[in-house]
């Protein structure tokens, strides 16, 4: 075997079984290769007659040069009669970052590069508000499953946030293994059970839509809310879009003639949202500003509206719908489509769902038009089978008694 350099290590192809490749310059220093392609630097030494195989770290997380330096130290410890495994463990423990440090690296090297802005904000919130105050000062190598379980339990009063935080921690500790900060398969979040999440279902009735429409017109006439906020709510009701899709909508994505919103990015990637004449008329009525690319404009030049929650709460309260969230408008759009007889596959396309399971939550609502149709068919057959029902007069009923 040649000297283990990056070029040599990269060229080693995995076989059908696990294999070892030894360095010809430093005796005892080698590379372990799994059939999966995983490569890990090792060192073999003998301490007081006992042969010890010590893992240095995975290729990629550390370079061959770094692994060679560590191997030299381990072999020196063994030659001096000290247990190199214990020395390595103590050395790694001293150098191990805190959970706070891991969180900072996670946000900088993973989240900022791979996640969308909304997800970045959510992860940052979990790290800074829930993870750091609980275990931020602890060493990454010291965290055990019971620590994660206790933290998860401490957030039981906010189960949804507890589950989101557990998910963020799991990603962090997976990366800690990739970065060589913890042994493989040591993620302490494993087997910590999430709290049961019950999806909220709130759908507006026709009367409630009418009440909301009245509240919007009154707000528009009285002037307490901005026209941008009122328009945003109307578009949410008429398109079934997510809040972020409407709030970040730009004119370059809008085609009112084709009645399409061509969104280059969304929660599920690029998609086209189709809409009707009512939504097209609302979009055509919006004043387009030369210095602002956004449909829902903010107060500052060139900006978009960033807060719809406060206007929404005032408008919904005025409509007597204080329990309705903005996202319930999207649910109500789906339930309206189901009431018109559209099937679940079509609902999934209208809402831009990437997974069938997401649309399946509306399955029980799809039974309503089926029940009505079944009733009509059954009654029609019943008339043919049993004859038209005979309605006796009030006098005939009395005489029969």
Give pLDDT tens digits for 67-99.
Answer: 999 888 888 877 777 766 555 554 555 567 899
What DSSP element (H or E) covers 261? strand 260-263
Other Cβ atoms closer than 10 A to 303: 11
Question: What residue segments make up the domains of the chain, in order of their start?
Answer: 6-95, 99-178, 206-362
pLDDT of residue 363: 56
Question: In this model, does residue 374 exceed pLDDT 80?
Answer: no
Q: In the CATH hierarchy, which top-level class contains the domain 206-362?
A: mainly alpha
Question: In this model, does residue 110 exceed pLDDT 80?
Answer: yes
* Same fold yes or no, 99-178 and 206-362: no
Give pLDDT tens digits for 201-217.
Answer: 788 888 999 999 999 99
Question: In this model, does residue 153 exceed pLDDT 90?
Answer: yes
Selected residue with higher pLDDT from 381 and 368: 381
Q: Do 110 and 120 meet the contact criterion of CB atoms below 8 Å apart?
A: no
pLDDT of residue 331: 83
| pLDDT, the chain, mean | 84
Selected residue with higher pLDDT from 364 and 50: 50
Give pLDDT tens digits for 170-181.
Answer: 999 999 989 888
pTM (whole model) above 0.85 = no
Question: In this model, does residue 22 exceed pLDDT 90?
Answer: yes
Cα 158–chain centre separation: 18
| CATH entry, 99-178, from 3.30.1760, 1.10.260, 1.20.1740, 1.10.150 | 1.10.150
Give pLDDT tens digits for 37-60.
Answer: 989 999 888 766 678 788 888 888
Structure tokens at 214: 């009245």
- Say which range, 183-192, 301-310, 368-377, has the weakest mean pLDDT: 368-377
Question: In this model, does residue 232 exceed pLDDT 90?
Answer: yes
Q: Do 148 and 192 meet the contact criterion of CB atoms below 8 Å apart?
A: yes
What DSSP element (H or E) covers 67? helix 64-79
CATH superfamily of 6-95: Integrase, DNA-binding domain (3.30.160.390)
Counting runs of H as helices and runs of E as strands, what totals does the chain give? Answer: 19, 7
């Amino acid at each position: 075997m040649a000297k283990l350099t990056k070029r040599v290590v990269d060229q080693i192809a995995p076989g059908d079984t696990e294999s070892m490749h030894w360095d010809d310059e430093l005796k005892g220093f080698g590379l372990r290769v799994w059939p999966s392609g995983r490569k890990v630097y090792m060192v073999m030494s003998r301490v007081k007659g006992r042969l010890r195989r010590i893992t240095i770290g995975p290729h990629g997380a550390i370079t061959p040069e770094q692994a060679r330096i560590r191997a030299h130290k381990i072999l020196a410890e063994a030659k001096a009669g000290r247990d190199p495994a214990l020395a390595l463990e103590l050395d790694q423990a001293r150098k191990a970052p805190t959970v706070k440090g891991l969180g900072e690296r996670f946000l900088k090297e993973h989240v900022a590069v791979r996640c969308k802005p909304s997800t970045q904000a959510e992860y940052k919130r979990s790290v800074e508000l829930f993870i750091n105050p609980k275990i931020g000062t602890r060493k990454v190598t010291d965290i055990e499953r019971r620590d994660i379980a206790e933290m998860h339990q401490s957030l039981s009063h906010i189960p949804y946030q507890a589950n989101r935080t557990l998910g963020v921690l799991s990603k962090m500790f997976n990366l800690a293994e990739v970065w060589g900060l913890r042994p493989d398969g040591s993620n302490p979040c494993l087997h910590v059970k999430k709290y049961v999440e019950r999806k909220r279902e709130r759908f507006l009735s026709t009367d409630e839509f009418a009440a909301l429409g009245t509240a919007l017109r009154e707000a528009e006439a009285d002037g307490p809310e901005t026209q941008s906020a009122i328009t945003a709510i109307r578009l949410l009701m008429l398109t079934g879009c997510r809040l972020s899709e409407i709030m970040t909508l730009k004119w370059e994505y809008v085609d009112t003639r084709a009645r399409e919103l061509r969104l280059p990015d969304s929660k599920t990637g690029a998609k086209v949202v189709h809409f009707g004449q009512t939504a097209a008329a609302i979009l055509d009525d919006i004043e387009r500003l030369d210095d602002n690319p956004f449909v829902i404009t903010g107060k500052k030049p060139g900006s978009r509206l960033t807060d719809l929650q406060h206007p929404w709460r005032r408008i919904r309260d005025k409509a007597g719908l204080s329990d309705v969230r903005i996202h319930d408008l999207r649910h109500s759009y789906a339930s309206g489509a189901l009431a018109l007889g559209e099937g679940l596959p079509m609902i999934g396309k209208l809402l831009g769902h990437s997974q069938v399971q997401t649309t399946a939550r509306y399955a029980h609502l799809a039974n309503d038009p089926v029940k009505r149709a079944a009733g009509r068919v059954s009654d029609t057959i019943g008339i043919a089978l049993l004859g038209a029902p005979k309605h006796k007069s009030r006098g005939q009923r009395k005489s029969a008694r």
